[in-house]
Chains A and B, each alone.
Chain A
Amino acid sequence: MTAAPSGFSLRDLTGAARAFPTGRPSLICFVKEDCNTCNLVAPLLEAFHQAWGGAADIWMLGQSADGNAILKDRHGLTLPILDDSALRTSLAWGFEIVPAVYWIGADGQRPAPLEGFVRQEWEDLARRIAADLAAPAPAVAWSELPDWRPGCGSKHLDPDIHDRLLAEAQGSPIRARQIEIASADDVDEFMFDQGFSDGLPLVPPTPERVLRMLSGTSRDAQDIVAVVPPNMAPATVEKIAINAVMAGCRPEYLPVVIAAVEAVCTDEFNMHGVTATTMGASPVLVINGPIRERIGMNMKLGALGTGNRANATIGRALRLVVRNIGGARPGGVDRSTLSTPMKFTMCFAEWEEGSPWDPLHVERGFQREDSVVTAFAMTSGPVQIVDQESRGPDQIAGTLGLGLEGMFLSKIHRMPVDALLVVCPEHLRTLTSEGPYAKARLRDRIQAVTTRPLREMVANAVSGAGIPVASAARMSEAQLSAPAAKFASDKHIHIVVAGSEAGKFSACFHGWVTGPAGSAVVSRKIEC
């Protein structure tokens, strides 16, 4: 005998809510439709309901909504069949096997349940109820029933479900499937075998680590941040945190990862196309605002390379989210011909303090004090632009333009494709050596120095790429002489500042298909 049973309110097949306790004696039986023994007892429960329904509540609690309707039709049941497909009541009542039947008499106490079917126990139960209610028992042909039948394991104990139910009941934010790895197995090898890795070792996402990671955000762990292509799977804060642990993030990086996931999982960014293209594209993340300093991002020496945990692991966490939640795997939806090391990680911060210009996020409409992640879909980079000789502002601007002209193929111009130019501090110093040198002027200069007559784009013996010969033959001399800059518009030239104060080496990233048919640059504010 145990304490009073847990109360519940569940809906019956008509949609009406039924609350327990009811104030009357009650027979509560948990069942599931695909259990043969549950089907054996269903007609018995109906007989009990017919006999005693006026004085007691005879209820079946089914563990699947569809199954309840099937049970009703299969056995012609009229007793209330309640929907416990959420299994919370099953968990709270704590039995192991269905059918599990409880007779709660006038004293309100819950006895141990009868589990499975033992005919003698059920006959005794019927006698007990008849005595308690002082009402005759229904006519049941007990001798035609088997002596016993084992029940089935209750659905709430299914290992794939039980941990989540328990976590809900205990108020834990963890809902993800728990995977137990035997002590004799190698955890790292297991994660490789499961395909969780980008090819490098992972930090095992234990519940303890994931809970610590979740402390990095005030968002609810079950908030859905985005739907991740290509599988269009919902990414909860918890799932992102799991991947952030594996990538090696610290909890304070999590808001940046969340914002990055939001940015790339938009129609504008088109993560599906970015993943699938044979050209091999990947997000390049630029971080702006106060969070750069707060989490110790690198924006100076070696900003685009190794050695900084935040830069390296934020970019990697995003990639793992796309891989593991979105299901983007090389050879699957990812069809990159050569791919790019940026698919491991590519994230850096802009050195706003080293720049005379509005930083990227301010250019894109945010406040300077906002922390923002901006995602570019890029196929190459960083490609170095080397010039140690130029001393004039227009000279170095010209060099940066010529460096960008190589994007995709140097002869191809009027490209409606984004590029991201990372100007190093020494080149910036030369640019501004004679006074302010606006970004707009730099863009104009890039377009000017890369302007060629259109005829240079015509296919020839050196390269068949460009304007087909037949098309060129239909063009007038004036059309072929028309000036063609590298970019179809200067809005495709995105400019940031980063790097050490020594070295005349800027760099650029080359885009993919820009615009509605491909990918657009997307920024998202980081909610800290």
Chain B
Amino acid sequence: MTTILDPTDERVPVARQVTARTGDITGVIGLLDISKPRGNVLLDELERLLAGRYPGVAIRRYAKPTFAKPCPPDLRLKIRSECSVLVEALAD
């Protein structure tokens, strides 16, 4: 992780690149609960649907310690190293 300081007047958000879409669902799917209440309900249902429709894929569950802060670097690294795709639930 490298941190740099923004050289601009900060009127425009920093643009982050969107990962290229593969067009299919394969490999390991991560389901990230941001720890807002009932996020698990949404993800449980999603896991059930994915498992039914794509029996070949593996599903792993993750949770942020708190929704109020960015995902800790260690957890990000873990998800990145273990998953092909990540679904993040922003449930209330």
Tell me the bound Cα distance from A412 to B84 in angstroms.
67
Interface-facing stretch out of A11-19, A48-56, A126-134, A171-179: A171-179
B2, A320: Cβ atoms closer than 8 Å: no
- Residues on B lying within 8 angstroms of A by beta carbon are 1-11, 13-15, 17, 36-37, 66-70, 76, 80, 92
> With A148-B37, A231-B11 as given contacts, are A187 and B5 in contact (CB-CB < 8 Å)?
no
A324, B1: Cβ atoms closer than 8 Å: no
Chain B CB within 8 A of A205 CB: yes
Closest to A186 in B: B2
Closest to A235 in B: B9
* Most B CB within 10 A of own CB, among A183, A191, A320: A183
Tell me the bound Cα distance from A193 to B8 in angstroms.
14
Tell me the bound Cα distance from A206 to B8 in angstroms.
14
B14, A179: Cβ atoms closer than 8 Å: yes
Chain A residue contacts of B6, Cβ below 8 A = 176-179, 242
Q: Can you list 29 A-B contacts with CB-CB less than 8 angstroms, sorted by A residue number?
A: A96-B68, A96-B69, A97-B68, A150-B92, A160-B13, A178-B5, A179-B4, A179-B5, A179-B6, A180-B1, A180-B2, A180-B3, A181-B1, A181-B2, A182-B1, A184-B80, A187-B2, A205-B4, A205-B5, A205-B7, A206-B3, A231-B9, A238-B5, A239-B7, A239-B9, A242-B5, A242-B6, A246-B7, A325-B7
Chain B residue contacts of A206, Cβ below 8 A = 2-5
Tell me the bound Cα distance from A19 to B85 in angstroms.
51
User: In the complex, which of the residues B3, B4, B70, B92 contacts A191, with contact meaning CB atoms closer than 8 Å?
Assistant: B4
Chain A residue contacts of B3, Cβ below 8 A = 178-181, 206-207
Tell me the bound Cα distance from A193 to B66 in angstroms.
31
Chain B CB within 8 A of A194 CB: yes
Chain A residue contacts of B1, Cβ below 8 A = 180-183
Scoring A residues 215 to 246 as 1 if CB is less than 8 Å from chain B, else 0, what string do you get?
00000000000001001011000110011001
User: In the complex, which of the residues A148, A180, A196 contacts B8, with contact meaning CB atoms closer than 8 Å?
Assistant: A196
Tell me the bound Cα distance from A96 to B15 in angstroms.
26
Tell me the bound Cα distance from A212 to B13 in angstroms.
26
B70, A159: Cβ atoms closer than 8 Å: yes
Chain B residue contacts of A177, Cβ below 8 A = 5-6, 10, 14
Decide if the interface of chain B is mainly helix, strand, loop or mixed: loop
Tell me the bound Cα distance from A97 to B13 in angstroms.
24
Q: Which 7 A-B pairs have the closest CB atoms?
A: A233-B9, A153-B68, A177-B6, A96-B68, A176-B5, A324-B7, A242-B7
Tell me the bound Cα distance from A342 to B88 in angstroms.
48
A187, B11: Cβ atoms closer than 8 Å: no
User: In the complex, which of the residues A207, A320, A327 contacts B5, with contact meaning CB atoms closer than 8 Å?
Assistant: A207
Tell me the bound Cα distance from A325 to B7 in angstroms.
7
> With A96-B68, A233-B11 as given contacts, are A181 and B4 in contact (CB-CB < 8 Å)?
yes
User: In the complex, which of the residues A157, A193, A204, A231 contacts B15, with contact meaning CB atoms closer than 8 Å?
Assistant: A193
Interface residues on A, range: 35 or more
Chain B CB within 8 A of A154 CB: yes
Closest to A244 in B: B7
Chain B residue contacts of A205, Cβ below 8 A = 4-5, 7
> With A174-B5, A204-B2 as given contacts, are A96 and B66 in contact (CB-CB < 8 Å)?
yes
User: In the complex, which of the residues A160, A234, A320 contacts B7, with contact meaning CB atoms closer than 8 Å?
Assistant: A320
Q: A97-B68, A159-B70, A180-B3 are in contact. List 7 more A-B contacts (CB 8 A).
A: A148-B37, A153-B68, A178-B3, A179-B5, A231-B9, A324-B9, A326-B9
User: In the complex, which of the residues A194, A242, A243 contacts B14, with contact meaning CB atoms closer than 8 Å?
Assistant: A194
Tell me the bound Cα distance from A204 to B1 in angstroms.
13
Quote the shortest CB–CB distance from A522 to chain B (angstroms): 22
Closest to A238 in B: B5
Quote the shortest CB–CB distance from B14 to chain A (angstroms): 5
Quote the shortest CB–CB distance from A219 to chain B (angstroms): 17
Chain B CB within 8 A of A210 CB: yes
Tell me the bound Cα distance from A524 to B6 in angstroms.
27
Chain B residue contacts of A327, Cβ below 8 A = 8-9
Chain A residue contacts of B92, Cβ below 8 A = 150
Closest to A96 in B: B68
Quote the shortest CB–CB distance from B2 to chain A (angstroms): 5
A234, B9: Cβ atoms closer than 8 Å: yes
Closest to A185 in B: B2
User: In the complex, which of the residues A96, A183, A187, A193 contacts B4, with contact meaning CB atoms closer than 8 Å?
Assistant: A187
Tell me the bound Cα distance from A88 to B41 in angstroms.
36
Closest to B38 in A: A150
Closest to A202 in B: B7
Chain B residue contacts of A157, Cβ below 8 A = 68-69
Closest to A197 in B: B7
Chain A residue contacts of B10, Cβ below 8 A = 176-177
Quote the shortest CB–CB distance from B38 to chain A (angstroms): 8
Tell me the bound Cα distance from A228 to B11 in angstroms.
14
Closest to B77 in A: A183
Tell me the bound Cα distance from A176 to B66 in angstroms.
25
Chain B residue contacts of A238, Cβ below 8 A = 5
Quote the shortest CB–CB distance from A94 to chain B (angstroms): 12
> With A96-B69, A187-B2 as given contacts, are A150 and B36 in contact (CB-CB < 8 Å)?
yes
Chain A residue contacts of B66, Cβ below 8 A = 96-97
Chain B residue contacts of A242, Cβ below 8 A = 5-7
Chain B residue contacts of A180, Cβ below 8 A = 1-3
Quote the shortest CB–CB distance from A179 to chain B (angstroms): 5
Chain A residue contacts of B9, Cβ below 8 A = 228, 231, 233-234, 239, 324-327
Tell me the bound Cα distance from A180 to B92 in angstroms.
28
Quote the shortest CB–CB distance from A196 to chain B (angstroms): 6
